[in-house]
Amino acid sequence: MDINFSGKRALVRVDFNVPLDKESFKVTDDTRIKRALPTITHILEEGGSVILMSHLGRPMKKLKEDGSIDRERFTLKHIVERLIDLIGVEVKFCDETVGKKASEMSAGLKRGQVMLLENTRFNEGEKEGDSEFAKALASLADVYVNDAFGTAHRAHASTTTVAHYFDEEHKTFGFLLESELKNASRVTDNPERPFVAIVGGAKVSDKMLLLDRLIDQVDTLIVGGGMAYTFMKAEGGKIGNSLCEDDRLELARELLAKARKQGVHLLLPTDSVVADAFSNDANFRNAPSNLIDEGWMGLDIGVYAQNEFSNNIRNAKTIFWNGPMGVFEMPNFANGTKLIAQAVAEATQTGAFSLIGGGDSVAAVNMMGLANKVSYVSTGGGAMLELLEGKVLPGVKAMSVAKLEELE
Ligand code: AMP
């Protein structure tokens, strides 16, 4: 961060969209808060004050029966106690995001003090990237810091538009966002080879662009999870009741052909753990992935695939992983994902750079206690995927754009 924060009020966009217990509303996983601490602490230590803002959940999608916002459920007040424990200084909570109270409270902030604004998504203007709302946010502070990587792919008011109201000397990325970009670039810009990408999860349709782009970059592309069965069927396999997107069969064929043409090693699971129901209590056995009986479905990669995938991963020098290899939430179908996580950790120990790209693969790595054994665990699922797809994130772009008035 190349701003001297001494005596300045910094408006800091963080990602405090943390999971809460459904009844007590207590924070059940504070990883995202912890990852924002270095930026907050740095500003305070330099003699600045901090105005934190974030979204929490999707209040506009989950309105109350009478059509009003469920403020009790989605208020950021729920996280204040944990935030104070973690930062170790008092945090003043403002029950509005912009307005008279927010202005007075921010104007009264002294060096070393912290305040938290109410959920940005309580305001209609947030998701629309509304200029008036963004301008009101900007008026609360002297400088703007974006440290919310998880929402940097959204052109929202607090992540993107607000940056247009600060010139380049008065806006900067926070440490977290900076390190997310730096780590992503180790995969996207001249990765050390062999470069192995592992993509899993439920649907091909969610990761089409990613797969297409990865084929241009990797030496080996490993495809596991539910999406592998669309590829299996596209190649003429019998997949029983496994997950399949019939409208993506042609696309799967195109991706397979592209990989062949470019000499990319595209690995699908040769065998699977198949089950007779989508349940941890179902009967299950190992079977070839292209010969699955009707009534059975592939819920994890099989023993042969586990070994083949792991061997490829162990030889890699750069690894990107997004998406589980099976229904890892059910213990009987978690083995494939566990072994892949272990192989990634082993490769890292012998010198590979490994990036875990958000979402369920992060949950899997955490579940196994391997988060410290990989090179970098991203805090942003969608944002990391978009970076890997080669897109410029709106929240990132806005930081290099001059102040709005200078453009007019
Ligand atoms: P995604 O959000 O696309 O990364 O998908 C993650 C979800 O995919 C997890 O909830 C997994 O349970 C699910 N999944 C992975 N493999 C399979 C499979 N073979 N069949 C059905 N669902 C799967």
Q: How many CB atoms lie within 10 A of CB 234?
A: 21
**Tokens encoding 23:** 């009844």
Across the beta sheet with 49-53, the strand order is 91-94, 114-117, 49-53, 9-13, 143-146, 171-173
Cα(399) to centroid(ligand 1), Å: 35
Residue 382 lies in a domain: no
What per-residue confidence (pLDDT) applies to 289? 98
Domain tally, the chain: 2
Residues 342 and 252 both lie in one domain: yes
pLDDT tens over the chain, length 408 residues: 889 999 999 999 999 999 999 999 999 989 899 999 999 999 999 999 999 999 999 999 999 999 999 999 999 999 999 999 999 999 999 999 999 999 999 999 999 999 999 999 999 999 999 999 999 999 999 999 999 999 999 999 999 999 999 999 999 999 999 999 999 999 999 999 999 999 999 988 889 899 999 999 999 999 999 999 999 999 999 999 999 999 999 999 999 999 999 999 999 999 999 999 999 999 999 999 999 999 999 999 999 999 999 999 999 999 999 999 999 999 999 999 999 999 999 999 999 999 998 778 888 888 888 989 999 999 888 899 999 999 999 999 999 887 766 655
Residues 216 and 157 both lie in one domain: no
Residue closest by Cα to atom 6 of ligand 1: 201
Residues 83 and 232 both lie in one domain: no
What per-residue confidence (pLDDT) applies to 408? 55
Can you tell me the distance from the alpha carbon of 242 to that of 236, in angstroms, rounded to the nearest whole number? 14
Is 359 noted as a catalytic residue in this protein? Answer: yes
By DSSP bridging, strand 265-267 and strand 220-223 are: parallel
State how far Cα 117 lies from the chain centre. 23
Cα(225) to centroid(ligand 1), Å: 6
Residue 223 lies in a domain: yes
What per-residue confidence (pLDDT) applies to 269? 98
Short-list 202, 195, 226, 229, CA closest to 321: 195
Q: Are 123 and 77 in contact (CB under 8 A)?
A: no
Domain harbouring 401, CATH code: 3.40.50.1260
Residues 132 and 216 both lie in one domain: no
Residues 350 and 208 both lie in one domain: yes
- Atom of ligand 1 lying closest to residue 326 CA: 16
Q: Which residue has the tokens 């990587």?
A: 149
Can you tell me the distance from the alpha carbon of 228 to that of 218, in angstroms, rounded to the nearest whole number? 18
Give buried/exposed letters for 199-224 (b at 16+ CB in 10 A, else e).
Answer: bbbbebeebbebbbbbbebbbbbbbb
CB-defined site of ligand 1, < 6 Å: 201-203, 206, 225-226, 243, 298-299, 323-324, 326-327, 329, 359-360
3-class secondary-structure state, position 356: strand
In the set 8, 9, 13, 32, the catalytic residue is 32
The model's pTM: 0.91
* DSSP-assigned letter for residue 98: S
- Atom of ligand 1 lying closest to residue 200 CA: 4
Domain that holds residue 63: 9-173+394-407
Residue 384 lies in a domain: no
Residue 2 lies in a domain: no
